[in-house]
Structure 1
């Protein structure tokens, strides 16, 4: 919500030949953008007077050959300085978001405008078209031309045998490569992080992705990255297997068909001179379109169980565990006991291709009645192609069962048609007051501001990879907050209770362990942004450790404030959150042993009870070893944290006296 707006506005007209460079500075004066028009429309970015991006090209080409950059002349330039705030209804980082920036809007005599915004923590631009009729966009060029060589954290797309390069689950780890070693054959989905000399972090992503394909990047064999977009799908076919999905068999020679007068997505360049500023950067949220949902009272963030990763492999129970009524009632009992708000019925509760063909081992009415009796919410997994085909009758049935949250899965694309699918599903769920998340999907790109009931999203290599690989390493886990998480909340599904060292880990289905310690998994509930957190651990193990589960159950999923006390990409992170008068601390490390002395100056006045889950004495050899401690602390005290390789720390500071 707007609290106040200070707008300094002036409008003037001139010919482009008289002013070939327009300058714009951030509110604090440390970042400067210079927009040029010579042979191409370009811009340069300086941070603290150091040239960072040099004459990076902006262009748009229509299918009739018309280009943005052709013979541009300016009609008007409008400058603004904005100081306002946004109140987030589902605050994954903070409730009150300062939105301070300087803006220039350049209106050309041709039917285009260009808008630049400069914040203290980054730069963004978008193009606006002003055609009376619909247009076909052949391509958009976004060239990010770095002044000096740097290194890049690249989520490189691995080709599929049954589909083209633009089919991906957006679940890759990060390869670190010199920027000038990246060629056009290196396709990366965004965000991509570049560390440029002298140690300036540049994170490239996008925001307000509506009716347009998502942006990939490729290298150029120079110090540049270049945009790439999936062409529009003309023909599709269903491919079989357990989870059928549509793949594109024929693509058009253009990337989008769209209305003629519209704003294109923001191209976002988040900037920082230290690593720890990245995870708390919320530029993407600020740039997204405001909520399309008026009544937000039914949106309820929280924690849920999730059984697919461990295969419902319960033990010490008086029934045969599996996808059946007794198992889900056990999950409801677990959720109720430890303060979780809901459970998820993952894949298998129905036929994957027909949401009305219920698994005969499941009595949905009995489960729904038992959940309602215990005040536990129900969530359901769906296959995207099935949900799309059965959308309205399925949502009506879900409402009858009391289901108020769904997951839909296996899109694995972000072409224009798939992006529009996401918005269509969100609109339908909003009408039925059903929350949702997408799996097998691209990053949120601000979707969660426009559709606040879309609480989280996958597009991340998370816990499920422990079932079949060694890829979800502690190093990967402490890379995610600095890159993927900057583009929006992520459904990692933490909380595995079988844990292993680097030497003892084995990917074993049905007995799924994590790489790293128990407390590394617990810390994720504070470190990772996700207003709906899914606990993937085995409830049977959790039942034997009630004090740890009670601590976990008391951790919120939305926050009044967030700060990163310290961190380094791929090495470690220490996150401090606040909800009401209680503070929470999460720390994670890679495979290095680390010790931290943390000042508790972030606390308010008075005494706090610190309840902490810490790596145990033998956690370096037996990764599930942890200790729970309780002590009284005050503002100004120092907290010593010792992390073993792959270790973590979770702390809750509850105020007990003034």
Structure 2
């Protein structure tokens, strides 16, 4: 670290003097955030700008097979400072600044017994802590005693936890949450004054297990996920213990949390060369087809490949149905062999056909077919020339599944294969360590338009402020059969969406997914207004900036690729004229190409004008609508 604010230095000095006789304080580099940990390791609290964010909240571990930790005393602390820039590959920015003040607190059990370590970090945009136990003996953890007590009774954006993490978010006060159901991370709240917006989440699950949050009075208590059908503790180590990070992201406004790199920074940076990882858009054969999946058909596969090639997309995804012995989507039948293509499909020849057109192929697999023969399967795909895999239906976040994610990310990286996980738990930063783990689901996405009415405009405007905070989300946008919510009907094949064409375009800027689906059938894109924007918009970025918006209502997000800026604007049920200040642009003249809602739901109006950073764009958004803008240096 090159510099440290005077306030942060003063807090560190205060904490270091007489550390055994007082609570441990840790301040962020700019001094605005303070994490306090009690000198008996029994509680913690968080303040920002002098205001309580998290009130005094419990700390600790509930162990099995050994007595509970007795009275603890702070024995020592070791402070650290970090300020580095980490190059990133295929994500929402080209670099991440990892800038924090850290400490490791060592607590000793009364009578010279066991030691508990708490690692803590304070960033300018949040704090995080985790537990460690040293020694070679296995550790059996029934649960953590960790809980978060939000100051006041804040209104929060929450979603119930379930295996696939595909439920909508709603706004509820802590006191309104159920006590017999868990809630997923992140839980996104604001302090009573509204001066701090924050998200409670987790990071770096490697060698641990996932967790959910359960209301206990005024607290949100951490509950670890146990392995199904395994009695006993939720987590069993092979020796010693390092838990996941418990993290609280913080900002002045809810949308500013989108820019945060906190979750990624709490994970190890990548090791080795990942320059081969290429972000991009992909055509996809399942969304527009029947629920049971597309039957293996060489002509159909070539139709989608040809569409990707003529559109300039680098990938095509073959979803369920391509493998030998596959039944209707998507059960893991014992007859299925994912190292063989269905009769009539010569996969190496199809790979060569696509490759000659500049298109790489991605394959869908069920995780239960992959897990027991991972090396054999991945070696086969690498030999065929496959570019990546989409793995589905894990629907768990326990110790065994976390280990499966880790093993799969490493195995695909070693073979230069992209990885997309569906039926996945919410990101905890594994993408930082393995950039080939390029996107994942764990989101209530557009596929549900085929099955029910939950993909509402309001839901679409919740996602950027909630689920997207933790990492990329494979929402699968691109539906071009747009309808108003009133005219929408559920269709399994050739489904509709409940938003305008303008919002369909804006999603490609707003929604973070370096492998981005172009989900509809090729016949629904050719000659359609707005498809020229889909052909141009990137899938990964050099910079991301939140400009305006409120959860569930609207958003304006700007992202930069090279010297070109892209703006996505979306609104929920309320039509609006969105004013977008261009003050974020560098000096000079810029050419703005604008796509905004037209007179009917399936049209956009395209216009071009020259602008400077002193200008303001006035974007016309229909209800459930949106707009997209490209800003490039004027010739």
What TM-score does the superposition give when structure 2 sets the normalisation length? 0.92
Q: Is this contact kept in 2: 1:613–1:628, CA < 8 A?
A: yes
Distance in 1, matches of 2:340 and 2:89, equals 36
Matched, 1:288 2:289: no
Deviates most, 480-489 or 185-194: 185-194
Instruction: Give the CA deviation at 1:198.
Output: 1.3
Instruction: Give the CA deviation at 1:288.
Output: 1.1
Instruction: Give the CA deviation at 1:219.
Output: 0.8
Partner residue in 2 for 1:155 = 159
Distance in 1, matches of 2:533 and 2:54, equals 46
Distance in 1, matches of 2:372 and 2:406, equals 15
Residues 534-613 of structure 1: pairs in structure 2 closer than 5 A: 534-545=517-528, 548-613=530-595
* Aligned-pair Cα RMSD in Å: 2.2
Q: Is this contact kept in 2: 1:111–1:131, CA < 8 A?
A: no
Instruction: Give the CA deviation at 1:473.
Output: 1.1
Distance in 1, matches of 2:14 and 2:433, equals 30
Instruction: Give the CA deviation at 1:312.
Output: 7.5
Partner residue in 2 for 1:310 = 288
Residues 483-522 of structure 1: pairs in structure 2 closer than 5 A: 483-522=466-505
Distance in 2, matches of 1:494 and 1:13, equals 51
**Cα shift readout 1:438-471 (whole Å, capped 9, x = no counterpart):** 1001012001011111000100000100001111
Partner residue in 2 for 1:335 = 308
Distance in 2, matches of 1:152 and 1:276, equals 14
Partner residue in 1 for 2:95 = 96
Deviates most, 579-588 or 298-307: 298-307
Residue 630 (structure 1) aligned to one of 608, 618, 622: 608
Distance in 1, matches of 2:23 and 2:178, equals 31
Q: Is this contact kept in 2: 1:311–1:322, CA < 8 A?
A: no
Distance in 1, matches of 2:239 and 2:399, equals 16
Residues 64-213 of structure 1: pairs in structure 2 closer than 5 A: 64-68=65-69, 70-90=70-90, 92-109=91-108, 110-157=114-161, 168-199=163-194, 200-213=196-209
Partner residue in 2 for 1:61 = 62
Distance in 1, matches of 2:424 and 2:296, equals 25
Q: Is this contact kept in 1: 2:366–2:391, CA < 8 A?
A: yes
Partner residue in 1 for 2:352 = 369
Counterpart of 1:362 in 2: which secondary structure?
coil
Matched, 1:391 2:391: no
Deviates most, 479-488 or 256-265: 256-265
Counterpart of 1:84 in 2: which secondary structure?
strand
With over 3 angstroms needed to count, the CA separation of the structure-2 counterparts of 1:205 and 1:82, relative to structure 1, is: same
Partner residue in 2 for 1:404 = 387
Counterpart of 1:500 in 2: which secondary structure?
coil
Residues 210-221 of structure 1: pairs in structure 2 closer than 5 A: 210-220=206-216
Instruction: Give the CA deviation at 1:28.
Output: 1.8
Instruction: Give the CA deviation at 1:152.
Output: 2.2
**Number of aligned residues:** 611
Which consecutive residues of structure 1, in runs of 5 or more, have no partner in the other structure? 159-167, 234-247, 314-320
Distance in 2, matches of 1:332 and 1:631, equals 35
Counterpart of 1:436 in 2: which secondary structure?
strand
Counterpart of 2:401 in 1: which secondary structure?
helix
Partner residue in 2 for 1:273 = 252
What TM-score does the superposition give when structure 1 sets the normalisation length? 0.89
Partner residue in 2 for 1:324 = 297
With over 3 angstroms needed to count, the CA separation of the structure-2 counterparts of 1:422 and 1:378, relative to structure 1, is: same
Instruction: Give the CA deviation at 1:21.
Output: 1.2
Counterpart of 1:425 in 2: which secondary structure?
helix
Distance in 1, matches of 2:534 and 2:247, equals 35
Q: Is this contact kept in 1: 2:287–2:494, CA < 8 A?
A: no
Instruction: Give the CA deviation at 1:344.
Output: 0.3
